[in-house]
């Protein structure tokens, strides 16, 4: 017998929001039936219109607020900024931090059954705006001019945006300047529907500590009309630019970068520091977009590793070696593994750049390479994991349980998979000692955390 839903499409109802979803929508319940309403905050009483229903949940639109949350703030930007990924900009920063810290606590208890773990107060930013050091902005044409900005939700329509409030000012300036130059020169935008045109995206990268700027022009075609004039204008108007790069993506795809990358002007790399460690950043390099909080995150990982200088450390999912090189400052030997060959080339280059001879990098899947190292007698005293959102592979978790390193430091970008993996390690004889949430992406729903896990000798 099918369940009769307590609401119907187009109903207007009064609700009280109880929680937020992982993407920042308010959660209310009607006779146990969940409603997800964008822009609603916990504790608020409101009138909503039901715009979609199915067996499991409904979606509503906020119509009127009766009792706003004390954490609600006026959006500090024009309407366009909501398309830039700022799902939480209507919540005060104090409220954002509270929500994110609670999210970590709740999933550890619900998924990991870890009610007694010490979850420390989240570490936020002094200034939670203008922190991103990289932008990749799609381009289109409107009224004969180029526009660049963000896609409207669930559409391919670009909203022209002069400033993103989470991008570093130099990055905003670079994108706008290149847009203006290309528009003035008549360089046509790529048109997705016809697969014609030239300019697809404008990318800008900025070294927070060095002040060095990179501009990447992403086109459908191998040639750029008025290329020399464009380069001259960019170099003239952006004095911090050290590198102008051309990337060709000729495919019908939503993937931003193509296979062919050429330096048109200046250097192949710009440089930046996280703490005392220097990094070379190319157009294709993965590099953390919030360098201020990255140092906070890595300092905590290094603290939890508690290295004396005698340890052998393995860094799974090492990327371009950011955490590996941080650890190499205190460890005897660090081994890093990463599936992306280009990232490993970057990692090796960064090790040489910093004169660190006590770190080695290998290409491959962590869940394949680390078990192989273990069988060869290459066990770790400390193992650090910084996996993608899906969490650690089961084979890697089993290798940890077989290898039994004294400590595991887990750097997570997804509290749910962190909780799941901690439960597996706990069931295998480990004890989660500390969890430190870190707000890497203010104004968004994302939250990172570092966990310190030790092997329980008594098991």
The predicted-structure confidence for 250-274, as pLDDT tens digits, reads as follows 999 989 999 999 999 999 999 999 9
Please give the radius of gyration of the chain, using alpha carbons only, rounded to the nearest integer: 24
pLDDT of residue 77 exceeding 60: no
| Active-site residue, from 182, 318, 392, 413 | 413
Q: So what's the pLDDT on residue 8?
A: 92
* Pick from 329-338, 352-361, 365-374, 405-414: least confident: 365-374
Q: So what's the pLDDT on residue 1?
A: 37
- 182 part of the active site: no
Q: Among residues of the chain, what percentage have pLDDT more than 90? A: 82
What DSSP line would sit under 318-387, residue for residue? Answer: -TTTHHHHHHHTT-SEEEEEES-HHHHHHHHHHHHHTT--SEEEEES-HHHHHHHHHHTT---SEEEE--
pLDDT of residue 367 exceeding 90: no
> What confidence category does residue 249 fall into, taking pLDDT thresholds of 50, 70 and 90?
very high
pLDDT of residue 84 exceeding 60: no
Q: Encoding tokens for residue 99?
A: 């929500």
Class of domain 12-67: mainly beta
- Is the Cβ–Cβ distance between 121 and 109 less than 8 Å? no
The answer to whether domain 12-67 and domain 134-274 are alike in fold is yes
Architecture field, domain 99-126+290-455: 3-Layer(aba) Sandwich (3.40)
The residue assigned the tokens 């400033």 is 163
pLDDT of residue 459 exceeding 70: no
Average pLDDT of the chain?
Answer: 92
**The CATH number of 134-274 is which of 3.40.50.150, 1.10.3720.10, 2.40.50.1070, 3.30.1330.60?**
2.40.50.1070
Q: Residue 284 phi/psi, 5° resolution?
A: -100, -5
> What confidence category does residue 79 fall into, taking pLDDT thresholds of 50, 70 and 90?
very low
Q: So what's the pLDDT on residue 140?
A: 93
Domain ranges of the chain: 12-67, 99-126+290-455, 134-274
Q: So what's the pLDDT on residue 21?
A: 85
* Pick from 75-89, 121-135, 368-382, 399-413: least confident: 75-89
Q: Among residues of the chain, what percentage have pLDDT more than 70? A: 96
> What confidence category does residue 22 fall into, taking pLDDT thresholds of 50, 70 and 90?
confident
Q: Three-state secondary structure along 209-274? A: CCCCEEEEEEECCCCCCCHHHHHHHHHHHCCCEEEEEEEECCCCCCCCCCCEEEEEEECCCEEEEE
What is the four-CA torsion angle of 242, 322, 254, 162, rounded to 10 degrees? -50
Rounded mean pLDDT of 295-307? 96
């Amino acid at each position: 017998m099918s369940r009769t839903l307590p609401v119907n499409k187009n109903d207007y109802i009064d609700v009280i929001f109880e929680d937020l979803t992982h993407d920042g929508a308010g959660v209310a319940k009607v006779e146990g039936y969940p409603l997800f309403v964008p822009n609603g905050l916990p504790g608020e009483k409101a009138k909503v219109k039901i715009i979609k229903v199915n067996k499991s949940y409904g979606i509503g639109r906020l119509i009127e607020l009766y009792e706003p949350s004390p954490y609600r703030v006026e959006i500090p930007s024009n309407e366009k900024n909501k398309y830039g990924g700022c799902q939480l900009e209507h919540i005060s920063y104090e409220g954002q931090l509270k929500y994110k810290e609670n999210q970590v606590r709740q999933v550890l208890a619900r998924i990991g059954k870890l009610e007694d773990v010490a979850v420390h107060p989240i570490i936020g930013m002094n200034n939670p705006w203008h922190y991103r050091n990289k932008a990749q902005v799609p381009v289109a044409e409107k009224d004969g001019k180029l526009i660049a900005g963000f896609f409207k939700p669930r559409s391919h329509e670009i909203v022209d945006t002069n400033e993103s409030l989470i991008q570093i000012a130099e990055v905003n300036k670079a994108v706008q300047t290149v847009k203006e130059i290309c528009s003035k020169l008549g360089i046509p935008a790529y048109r997705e529907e016809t697969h014609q045109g030239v300019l697809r995206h404008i990318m800008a990268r900025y070294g927070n500590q060095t002040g060095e700027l990179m501009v990447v022009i992403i086109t459908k075609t191998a040639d750029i009309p008025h290329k020399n004039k464009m380069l001259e204008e960019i170099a003239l108007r952006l004095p911090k630019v050290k590198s102008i790069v051309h990337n060709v993506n000729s495919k019908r795809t939503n993937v931003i970068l193509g296979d062919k990358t050429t330096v048109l002007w200046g250097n192949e790399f710009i440089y930046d520091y996280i703490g005392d460690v220097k990094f070379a950043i190319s157009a294709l390099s993965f590099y953390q977009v919030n360098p201020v909080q990255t140092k906070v995150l890595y300092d905590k990982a290094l603290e939890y590793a508690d290295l004396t200088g005698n340890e052998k450390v393995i860094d799974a999912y090492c990327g371009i070696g950011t955490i590996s090189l941080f650890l190499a400052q205190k460890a005897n030997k660090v081994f890093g593994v990463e599936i992306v060959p280009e990232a490993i080339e970057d990692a090796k280059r960064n090790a040489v750049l910093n004169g660190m001879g006590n770190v080695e990098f290998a290409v491959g899947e962590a869940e394949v390479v680390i078990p192989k190292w273990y069988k060869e007698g290459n066990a770790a005293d400390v193992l650090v994991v910084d996996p993608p959102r899906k969490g650690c592979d089961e084979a890697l978790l089993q290798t940890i349980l077989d290898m039994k390193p004294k400590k595991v430091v887990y750097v997570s970008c997804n509290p749910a998979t962190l909780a799941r993996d901690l439960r597996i390690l706990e069931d295998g004889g480990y004890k989660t000692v500390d969890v430190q949430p870190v707000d890497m992406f203010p104004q968004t729903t994302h939250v990172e955390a570092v966990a310190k896990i030790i092997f329980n000798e008594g098991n």
